[in-house]
Amino acid sequence: MRANILALSVLFTLLMCGQLFAQEFEIKLDRPEKVGDKYLLSGSGRELEHFKVSQGLKVVSETTASYSGKLDATVTVLKNGDTGDGSKLGLIVSACKYSENGKTPEQEILPAGTEILAELQGKEEVFLVNGKPVSPEVKKVLNLFFSLRHDKTTDDDVFGTKERKKVGDRWPVHNAEMAASLSEVGILAKPDSIKGSTALDKIVESDGIKALRITGNVEVENLTSPALPPEFIVDKANAFVYFSGDFPIDTSKAPLSDKMDMNMWLTGRASAPNGIGFVLSMRMEQTVEKKYKALR
């Protein structure tokens, strides 16, 4: 009898898994926020920048700077931007931690209960406590988890698809839209220098909510920027991004989590005022992971 029950349980589980793999789902990455929406945010992240300047075989300067941060906060949407994402947020901090250059443990830099107003003033993102700007350390942590400037090009434009997809399906990144998105932040890349794909990896469940685990990667070669001095010649500038997120099957619900790993490398050369050429090498790494829980 027990063997029969076990066999039936296994068969039922396999049938359910088969149905999930055969089922097609709508892919919707952008989930517009409404004024009044409130959620818990738990985030961790780190950023590293490495610069080296050389003249011939001599290293003139070399620096590495890094920091990491953690944030637990209750977030309320106070105002929406044009794309439906929050452009003005109210935060009540439960924990805010910061560490520089690998020093451990991370230090609390804001007391629990601190209220922060995050908003756009012109094109600048501003974080205020009692009407005054937060410290540089607090701003670094908040910048890891919040971006109030919302591009005209959306995640669905770049990574999405209008076709319904099954678990295991993969589709290409939209190169032209990715190039347009980069140009909105001052980075130039030709569509044919961009390659990547997005996939529906599996079905996950958190707090009783079934969600699509969407993953993807994109590699961009030969980046440049009009902000660079005209005398600076870029020899190589590449970026690689990996991302994942859990998006409820019910597309009216907000994402449950997202993660992003980015690496960028640049080498270039120019002439110093004394006429001697120099070579600049730069590497940047950033990892950010966020989890969300809707409160209303």
Bridge partner residues of 218 (DSSP):
196, 241
Q: Is 4 helix (H, G, I), strand (E, B) or coil?
A: helix
CB 91 within 8 Å of CB 115:
yes
Looking at residue 108, what is its pLDDT?
95
Scanning the structure block, which residue is given the tokens 């409404």?
34
Question: CA torsion sign, 9 to 13 to 18 to 24?
Answer: positive
CB atoms within 10 A of CB 148: 19
What does the chain come to in residues? 296
What does the alpha-carbon distance between residue 93 and residue 71 come to, in Å, rounded to a whole number?
A: 8
Rounded distance between C-alpha atoms, residue 282 and residue 291, angstroms: 31
What distance lies between CA 174 and its chain's CA centroid? Answer: 18
Whether the CB-CB separation of 295 and 40 falls below 8 Å is answered with yes
**Which ranges of 94-244 does DSSP label H, i.e. alpha helix?**
136-145, 155-159, 175-183
Q: How far apart are CA 296 and CA 291, in angstroms?
A: 16
Instruction: Return per-residue pLDDT of the chain as tens, 296 residues.
Output: 545 555 555 545 544 545 555 699 999 999 888 899 999 999 999 999 999 999 888 999 999 999 999 999 999 999 876 655 667 899 999 999 999 987 777 899 999 999 999 998 877 889 999 999 999 999 999 999 998 866 778 899 999 999 999 999 999 999 999 999 999 888 999 999 999 999 999 999 988 999 999 999 999 999 988 888 888 889 999 999 999 999 999 999 999 999 999 999 999 998 766 667 889 999 999 999 999 999 96
- What confidence score (pLDDT) does residue 11 get? 47
